[in-house]
Amino acid sequence: VQLVESGGGLVQAGGSLRLSCVQVGVTPGAYAMGWFRHAPGKEREFVAGITWNRVNTKYADNVKGRFTISRDNAKNTVWLQMDSLKPEDTAVYYCATLLDYRSGAPSGAWGQGTQVTVSS
């Protein structure tokens, strides 16, 4: 299983970014998928999760209402739409396969990460 993220960059506060995660070597829809982030000096944080069939999603409280996770199994792709970005959203963002979309428990496959920097 290989996960490849893209879409990070530098954006001003209040702006938007859309992260993509392409899954290679994965049966379409085989896993719940999630996004995590890791900021310097902080622990890795679960950001959002989605079930294999897109029916259910879960968000961390600090991104709820601003971020949207989605997926298209036909394209083996998961997205994280990030709106109303804040400087505290600055981190390296990773996608991962999940055991449980609610708890964010990862199942072992991770992408290489994409840097998101939000300037004030």
In a structure prediction context, what are the per-residue pLDDT tens digits for the chain, which is 120 residues long? 899 999 999 999 999 999 999 999 878 778 899 999 999 999 999 999 999 999 999 999 999 999 999 999 999 999 999 999 999 999 999 999 999 988 888 888 899 999 999 999
14 burial type by CB count under 10 A (0-12 exposed, 13-18 middle, 19+ buried): exposed
